[in-house]
Amino acid sequence: MKTAWCCALFASVLGTARAHAQPPVSAVRWNNGVDMSGEGRANAFTLGTVIQLDGRYGVDDPEHFVNDGLLMRRIRPILQARVARRLEFRFMPDFGNHATAIFDAYVDVRLTPHVRVRAGKEKGPVGLERLYSGAALLFPERTLVTNLVPNRDVGVQIAGDAGGVVTYSAGAYHGVPDLGSTDLAAGFGRDFNGRVELRPFARSAPAAWRNAGIAFGATAGQATGALPSFRSAPQQDFFTYTASAVADGLRTRFTPSAFYYYKSFIAFAEYARSTQTVSRAGVFTDVANSAFGVSGAFVLTRETVSERGIVPREPFNPAHHQWGAIVIAARYNRLSVDPLVFTRGLAAPAALAGARAASVAAHLYVTTNVKYVLSFERTVFLDGPQAHRPPENALIFRLQLSLQPTL
């Protein structure tokens, strides 16, 4: 199913390319990856990748809750194309985490320079940190908040912006559990997702406030079937529902957030509340789980930060007193499971009532495309009625190669 769908999508792009024949390729260049384009970039094709090697180790972990060792966290070739100026395509599979999956496979039709329609598989337009690229994160893993928002989903979205002050997106999707992904669009349009981002000072305020903003994301739809599990930064589950409990009714999410970028400083905060009607043995319960997180970072070498990451002024070369870009980061986040889950018998016996975590991290950008990350995260778990887990102290190391060209 995945292969047939993607081949049909790619054939559609090729067919459009033939119908809008342009002059042959006039430039092949390095643009954080291979970039081939025709005159005026009406037609373009780019090839990039993200590769991440992680080392994860538990500190003071006698029960070995953290799986010590090395992991290929992400292995993602990235293919992007533009045809006849208005049609764009992105395809990104992933071979990391001991699995193979298609993460992005969509086509954009640009109706105007500021409005586009997208169809295919992509990130749902909901959580702030979820929308950040995995190559530009402040920590090896996202906060606990992303446990409560969708990952990738199949659907149709319309999005646009108004002069950089207002950005919006709204779409209809198949619908996935919290933290979930899907490839199959059976029962199309179960979830309706929307997001509005405001940068009220983007055009008129002093530079210190131009990249300050707020965002509001939400989803609503009917859900049946599997329920999610929640995991800590080292990707260890700490909460699961009992096997006989299923989603069976309305699911909604609400995710307000705020962000601030200025020169070498970045900070953002995010809250998520996910509600779901859950049934077990004919009894229905409206469950509401919530989470919040606050993150910040500062570039010691004074490069400018953005959502796409950091570009060092000079490569790392100690012999010439060049230190690349050095970043320090800190965060605090917490997830709380609805107490009704336990009083109504909806949780698995080993399920915990939530978690709170504090983290610090340091980045060394050797070049624009290569960086090292070292982080330490302490997670304290909230006891469930039948379960207790000692705090989790995780040391995570990452080596990253990121080649992400832009169309």
What is the structure's pLDDT at 327?
97
Ramachandran angles phi, psi of 156, nearest 5°: -125, 135
Q: Considering only CA atoms, which of 110, 111, 58, 151 is closest in space to residue 393?
A: 58
Q: Which helix (H) or strand (E) holds 71?
A: strand 69-83
CATH number of the domain that 198 lies in? Answer: 2.40.160.10
Q: What is the pTM of this model?
A: 0.89
* 94 contacts: CB under 8 Å, gap ≥ 6: 74, 75, 76, 100, 101, 102, 103
**Structural domain that includes position 163:** 2-403
Record the tokens describing residue 146, joined without a space.
């992303």
Whether the predicted pLDDT of 329 surpasses 90: yes
What is the structure's pLDDT at 26?
60
Locate all alpha helices (DSSP H) within 64-170, ordered by sequence: 128-131
Cα(124)–Cα(151) distance, integer angstroms:
7
What is the structure's pLDDT at 29?
72
Q: Considering only CA atoms, which of 296, 316, 404, 383 is closest in space to residue 35?
A: 404
CB neighbours of residue 272 within 10 Å: 29
What is the structure's pLDDT at 4?
47
Task: Report the Cα–Cα distance between both ends of the chain, in Å, rounded.
Answer: 29
CB neighbours of residue 359 within 10 Å: 24
Whether the predicted pLDDT of 218 surpasses 70: yes
Mind listing the pLDDT tens digit for each residue in 360-386? 999 999 999 999 999 999 999 999 999
Degrees, nearest 5: CA angle 216-221-225: 125
Mind listing the pLDDT tens digit for each residue in 219-246? 999 999 999 999 998 889 999 999 999 9
Cα(292)–Cα(47) distance, integer angstroms:
36
Mind listing the pLDDT tens digit for each residue in 390-402? 999 999 999 999 9
CA dihedral 383, 337, 99, 184 (to 10 degrees): 160
- DSSP code at position 24: P
Percent of the chain clearing pLDDT 90 (strictly above): 76
Report the chain's mean pLDDT, rounded to a whole number: 90
Mind listing the pLDDT tens digit for each residue in 150-183? 999 999 999 999 888 999 999 999 999 999 998 8
Mind listing the pLDDT tens digit for each residue in 2-36? 444 444 444 444 454 444 444 555 667 777 888 88
Cα(311)–Cα(69) distance, integer angstroms:
30
Burial class (CB in 10 A: 0-12, 13-18, 19+), 349: exposed
Number of structural domains found in the chain: 1
What SS3 state is found at 368? coil
What is the structure's pLDDT at 6?
46
What SS3 state is found at 338? coil
- Strand pairing category for 87-94 and 370-382: unpaired
CB neighbours of residue 227 within 10 Å: 21
What is the structure's pLDDT at 182?
86
The dihedral built from the CA positions of residue 277, 279, 283 and 287, taken in this order, carries a sign that is negative
Cα(273)–Cα(219) distance, integer angstroms:
11
Record the tokens describing residue 207, joined without a space.
């530079």
What SS3 state is found at 60? coil
Cα(60)–Cα(227) distance, integer angstroms:
32
Mean pLDDT, range 302-312, rounded to an integer: 88
Q: Considering only CA atoms, which of 232, 233, 270 is closest in space to residue 375?
A: 233
- Residue 346 φ/ψ region, left for φ over 0, alpha for ψ in the -120 to 50 degree band, beta for the rest: alpha
Mean pLDDT, range 76-89, rounded to an integer: 94
Amino acid in position 289? N
Question: Distance of CA 290 to CAs 8, 178, 276, Å?
Answer: 40, 11, 12
What is the structure's pLDDT at 208?
87
Record the tokens describing residue 182, joined without a space.
């899907």
Mind listing the pLDDT tens digit for each residue in 112-155? 988 999 999 999 889 999 999 999 999 999 999 999 999 999 99
Mind listing the pLDDT tens digit for each residue in 248-276? 999 999 999 999 999 999 999 999 999 99
- Strand pairing category for 316-317 and 309-310: unpaired
